[in-house]
Chains A and B, each alone.
Chain A
């Protein structure tokens, strides 16, 4: 309960933000996924500030709340850079900063195809107290989180992660598949994972009236993600898998909220991860340093 109370001011701030029409805002295009990436890049010059919140109360493990702050900038229409800052608070334990990630996404093809690849490279530096669930790789299981934060944060992992993002938009639907390969910079084998998402906007055409709550501002979808073991033990066994529906509301003032529970599909997973992502898009911040007239 204390955890939830802590997030009230942040939630109130974001809700307030959603009601204020802001001139520097733009509506994001991203499909409503928490883990899966699509080929939608950040628009050039835009900065998205997002807070990804996760609450879970797994069996035999203390309940926790994890927050990831994301700063995503569209350098060009084919290159997006992102910084993640992660932390978590565990009930009957402590609140800790768990690390950061720097990612780059590159879209190599100039035009839209039936399937569109995006190359993703990330450097991550986080300790094992990280509970952000931004992906599952290797044999990550929920019982790994039973140790205390003090023990978990003592072990730090620095890794390079690559993703092959494949994504298609057809008849208003988006289908995205991510194949994940991660290599710890210490002497550990390659680790693998996957994420798949599908989504659709609720309306196929815009209303002739300017409106806040019309169907065109909502998108629904679902995703599934899990680990694929390591180079030596490749497969779906002994790892966790999550899946669930998502819904997103994209306000005309540049605010997006994405909600959804993700259910653990096997005994290695938490029963449910409650997720909420709040994002705000600052439009054309590059104009601040005077490139535009």
Chain B
């Protein structure tokens, strides 16, 4: 009985995690959030700050090169490149809890926009190693 329960839990959890990359969250973004643009004036500086945020907060799940890891989707992708700034900022604030992405609402809003600027940069430049500088600093 215990084994059956454990297997059922494992299947349910795996199912939830495997559905992480389906992009269905995009349909839930309200129009008002979708059309927002990144309000930070200096996008280059914002992307640079976003690099450090990415290394500290995101790289563990999405990979050092934003290439994705297991069921956690890549962030250098057609879907992220096509998403608007507003959609990415909405996802960071709300997360996609049923699919494994936590909400980052406790992160100050400006930091979330810095991450959006960084995601824009790596999707424009291809898979630029996001943690190159940070790995150097870590050593």
Residue of B nearest to A209 (CB): B52
- Interface: B126 (CB within 8 A): no
CB neighbours of B104 from chain A (8 A): 29
CB neighbours of A172 from chain B (8 A): 108-109
Say whether B56 contacts A291, CB under 8 Å.
no
Say whether B114 contacts A291, CB under 8 Å.
no
- Interface: B84 (CB within 8 A): no
CB neighbours of A77 from chain B (8 A): 95-103
- Interface: A206 (CB within 8 A): yes
Residue of B nearest to A290 (CB): B70
Question: In the complex, A206→B107 CA distance in Å?
Answer: 10
Interface size class of A (residues with CB under 8 A): 35 or more
Say whether B105 contacts A169, CB under 8 Å.
yes
Partner of B106, one of A23, A38, A78, A283: A38
Which residues of chain B (37-87) have a CB below 8 Å from chain A? 40, 45, 48-50, 52-53, 55-57, 60-61, 69-72
* Known interface pairs A77-B102, A204-B108; A45-B61 also in contact (CB < 8 Å): yes
CB neighbours of A44 from chain B (8 A): 17, 100, 102
A-binding residues in B (CB < 8 A): 13-14, 16-17, 28, 40, 45, 48-50, 52-53, 55-57, 60-61, 69-72, 93-111, 114, 133-134, 137-139
CB neighbours of A291 from chain B (8 A): 14, 17, 70-71
5 pairs from A and B in contact (CB 8 Å cutoff): A29-B104, A43-B61, A76-B17, A77-B96, A205-B40
* Known interface pairs A75-B13, A76-B13, A291-B71; A31-B93 also in contact (CB < 8 Å): no
Partner of A26, one of B56, B93, B114: B56
Say whether A210 contacts B108, CB under 8 Å.
no
Say whether A29 contacts B28, CB under 8 Å.
no
CB neighbours of B108 from chain A (8 A): 172, 201, 203-205
Question: In the complex, A293→B61 CA distance in Å?
Answer: 11
Say whether B114 contacts A206, CB under 8 Å.
yes
Question: In the complex, A29→B116 CA distance in Å?
Answer: 18
Write out, one digit per residue, whether chain A residues 20-50 have a CB within 8 A of any chain B CB (1) or not (0).
0101101101110000001011011110000
Say whether A207 contacts B28, CB under 8 Å.
no
Question: In the complex, A24→B101 CA distance in Å?
Answer: 19
Question: In the complex, A120→B65 CA distance in Å?
Answer: 37
* Known interface pairs A26-B60, A77-B101, A112-B103; A206-B53 also in contact (CB < 8 Å): yes
Question: In the complex, A75→B71 CA distance in Å?
Answer: 15
Question: In the complex, A78→B14 CA distance in Å?
Answer: 14
* Known interface pairs A21-B138, A26-B60, A29-B107; A206-B97 also in contact (CB < 8 Å): no
